[in-house]
Amino acid sequence: MIRVLFICLGNICRSPMAEAVFRDLVEKEKRNDAISVDSAATSSWHIGSPPHKGTLHILKQYNISAKGLVGRQLTKNDFEQFDYLIGMDASNIENIYEITGKPDHPKIIRLLDLTAHKKDVPDPYYTGNFQETYDLVLEGCSALLNKIKSEHHLMD
C-alpha cells in the first residue's frame, strides 16, 4: 500500500481538502487497493475538529466526500508510516523537517512543486478564497497521482 499524507498548518482547510480531492481521484481511477491517504497539521490548534466550513462547502460543490476528515497533528512516527509527506507551503515544509527530524528528505514534497506553479498553496483561512485553493489543490493532486503511478508502475 502506498501511503500519502497531506500536511498544512491547522488541518482544517488545505490538507483535508487535498486529502478529499486526492481520495476522490484515487477512487475514480479504482486505485483504492494501492493508495491510501490521510492529512495532518503541523500545529495542535484544531486536533479533533472537522474541516473549515469553506472547505466543506467547496468539496460539496464538487461532489467530493468529506467523510472521515478530522484534524490531527503530524508526529515524528508519520515519517515512517507514509511514503509521501506533502506540504502545502514552504513554512509547512520547514515544520515537517523539524517535526520529523528529516530535513531535505525526498519523500517530503511541497505540493505545487509537482506543477508548473512552483509556489505555495495559499491558506484560505486567511485569504477566504477557497476556490483558488481548490483549483491549485486539484492540479497538484493530479500531478501527484501521476507521479505515484509512474514511480510505482501503476500506469494503465
User: Which residue among the candidates 38, 89, 123, 141 is catalytic per the annotation?
Assistant: 123
**Whether residue 8 lies in the annotated active site:** yes
Render the chain in DSSP notation, one character per residue.
-EEEEEEESSSSSHHHHHHHHHHHHHHHTT-TTTEEEEEEESSSTTTTPPPPHHHHHHHHHTT---TT----B--TTHHHH-SEEEESSHHHHHHHHHHHT-TT-TTEEEGGGGSS--SPPP-HHHH--HHHHHHHHHHHHHHHHHHHHHHTT---
CA–centroid distance for 66 within its chain = 13
CA distances from 62 to 55, 96, 135, 150 (A): 11, 30, 11, 27
User: Which residue among the candidates 13, 14, 78, 141 is catalytic per the annotation?
Assistant: 14
User: Which residue among the candidates 8, 24, 110, 120 is catalytic per the annotation?
Assistant: 8
The residues annotated as belonging to the active site are 8, 14, 123
